[in-house]
Amino acid sequence: MPRILVTGGCGYIGSHTMVDLLENGYDVVSIDNLSRSDGSSLKGIEQITGKRVVNHKIDLCNKQALDDFFRLDHRFDGVVHFAAFKAVGESVEKPLVYFTNNVVSHINLLECVTRYKIPSFIFSSSCSVYGDIDKMPVSEATPVNAAASPYGRTKQMCEEILFDTAPSTDTGFVSLRYFNPVGAHPTGLIGEKSTEKPNNLVPCITQSALGLMPQVVVHGDDYPTRDGTCIRDYVHVMDLARAHRLAFEKIQKGRRKVEVVNIGTGNGVSVLEMVKTFEKTTGQKLNYRIGPRRAGDVVTIYSDTTKANKLLDWKPKYTVEDMMETAWKWEQHYRRQGVAK
């Protein structure tokens, strides 16, 4: 049974990835300092899979604590690295916090991975590494431009560190450049948590539908797009979770370099189209208004998924309607549990 260490395992994508791994015969261990999550997803994971996951509350920026962990237990076949701050707007307001947290933790983890000879490393990257792109769709060969936010720049920096590290180690690396993860596990038992004012579109939509937010703010309607709102490539979180397992299996087959792979659906959907899809799928009418543009947002971005299709044998299984239906199911379950006020 392959044994995988998942950093940020209690978070949104990390928890869904651990479910996929567990359901496909893997053993998983989590590291999460719980600064942006509360650990309750572990209960949902156990309900879904029947398996209990142990989380180690360690800050990856604490180099000594991380090395102590690996020194005591480094019998891992691979590491999947999610742990990072991810709010674009917050990164614009607090750039040094993002550089410290995202980059320093990445370096500390890679030092342990190479020192203890962990054979596989999968990095949670982002389409934000591409910056503002004029030509669509975006492929892995698309030139990387200046990042539109400090968050995006941290992902660029972390990828460069992988490329520089790879020649000096036998570890195999895959960097998955996500587009926009949304949705939740079909059971509604785990999903994207937002105990404070959410930054991402879908939690804003679902919280507004429940009356927890007065309205959804659409950031700008004067962009050069078909309806004036930003266009993104939304991918279901369970499709994204599966891509990590497939990437690990690809490394296991002998690749020993850095592979960069886009993970998206290849379809661009506007913010207003997402609002309308939610209303149609759930029957819930949304109160939304047009607000000013938001710093750090790119206008349009969607993926070329050819490499993911061929290299990982990965194709998305979930539709935009599935994304909204599962996100809504999760939001209702989450609030019924009284987890957040």
DSSP string, 84-143: S---HHHHHH-HHHHIIIIIIHHHHHHHHHHHTT-SEEEEEEEGGGG-S-SSSSB-TTSP
Instruction: Examine the residue annotation and report whether 12 is marked as an active-site residue of this protein.
Output: no
Write the single-letter amino acid at 32: D
Query: From the centroid of its chain, how far is CA 26?
Result: 20
Cα dihedral 145, 146, 152, 154 sign? positive
Report the SS3 class of residue 316: coil
Joined together, the tokens standing for residue 338 give 């009284």
Structure confidence at residue 298 as a pLDDT band (50, 70, 90): confident
Identify the CA nearest to 304 among candidates 178, 181, 176, 138: 138
The end-to-end CA distance of the chain, in Å, is 40
Whole-number Å distance between alpha carbons of 29 and 45: 12
Domains of the chain: 3-182+234-264+303-317 (3.40.50.720)
Unique residue bearing structure tokens 């503002």: 132
Percentage, residues of the chain above pLDDT 90:
87
Pairing of strands 216-219, 120-126: unpaired
Give 11's DSSP letter.
S
Cis peptide before 137 (omega within 30 of 0): yes
pLDDT given at position 111:
98
Burial (CB < 10 A; 0-12, 13-18, 19+), residue 197, is exposed
> What does residue 173 show for φ and ψ, rounded to 5 degrees?
-120, 140
- Residue 340: pLDDT above 60? no
> What does residue 169 show for φ and ψ, rounded to 5 degrees?
-145, 160
> What does residue 64 show for φ and ψ, rounded to 5 degrees?
-70, -45
Q: Tell me: the pLDDT tens digits for 243-268?
A: 999 999 988 765 568 999 999 999 99
Which residue is catalytic, options 12, 130, 151, 223? 151
pLDDT given at position 341:
41
Q: Which residues of 141-161 are buried (b: 16+ CB within 10 A; e: fewer)?
A: ebeeeebbbbbbbbbbbbbee
pLDDT given at position 254:
58
- Residue 202: pLDDT above 80? yes
pLDDT given at position 256:
60
Cα dihedral 51, 52, 54, 55 sign? positive
